[in-house]
A = this chain, B = another copy of it.
């Protein structure tokens, strides 16, 4: 069975998780999603998991973006429809992805006494994922619980001639990914305001339609509005950062 890894711990520490997993289940198929989430940026990790989740079938997604490691935050398994599991910290990291698939149950993992208090990824999540991949059921590994820490991307507010949303995430090209759903954008030309910068943009089917260095709008591959710059970095143009407000004027 497939085990994916989405972490902020870097490749080297993630390798210890891989060793643990393969020692328990040598047949596990490990897929690296990312090990370079911005340190402790739970929202960025949540967005990536939300984006990739629909494309995997029968997978166990392990996530380690875990500022609360070693404290009283719980370790959990979330069982979803379609034989998909999430394993990691109870800090909201998995919730947008898990809700997208449909949550069937949540299970709390016991923290072994000899687990390193700085690295539950290796000593708690990896073994649990390996056991799931080897055929164990979630209820055999964890204890069913009823509540968990929630997280959502917020909903854009839609008024006459204006939409107000926020920046979910800036990708490696400097594209600005927002929480404004593409279906709410009906017009081809509008103004975008982020911080102090306001800019007229056109909505294109893809980057390739814009002129070189043009600031443009497009609907990203996850269905959300993105502001981009052809062969450039839109985040620099707007001095945009994660969580900032974005306003659209029609």
- Spell out A's residues near B (CB within 8 Å): 2, 4, 10-13, 15-16, 18-20, 22-23, 26, 29-36, 39-40, 48, 51-52, 54-57, 59, 67-71, 73, 116-119, 122, 171-173, 204-209, 218-221, 231
Main secondary structure of the interface of A (DSSP, over half): mixed
Q: Which 10 A-B pairs have the closest CB atoms?
A: A70-B206, A19-B55, A119-B221, A71-B208, A19-B56, A117-B206, A117-B205, A15-B33, A11-B34, A116-B221
| A75 → B minimal CB distance (Å) | 13
Chain B hits for A173, CB < 8 A: 39
Smallest Cβ-Cβ distance to A208: which chain B residue? B71
- Contact flag A31-B15 (CB < 8 Å), given A56-B23, A206-B70, A206-B71: yes
Q: How many copies does the complex hold?
A: 3
Given A23-B55, A118-B219, list of 9 further CB < 8 A pairs? A12-B48, A15-B48, A19-B31, A19-B52, A39-B173, A55-B122, A118-B205, A118-B218, A118-B220
Chain B hits for A172, CB < 8 A: 10, 39
CA distance A31 to B5 in the complex (A): 13
- Contact flag A32-B33 (CB < 8 Å), given A70-B205, A207-B67: no
Query: Which of B12, B52, B231 is the one whose CB lies under 8 Å from A34?
Result: B12
Chain B hits for A219, CB < 8 A: 118
Contact B30 A31 (CB under 8 A): yes
Chain B hits for A2, CB < 8 A: 22, 26
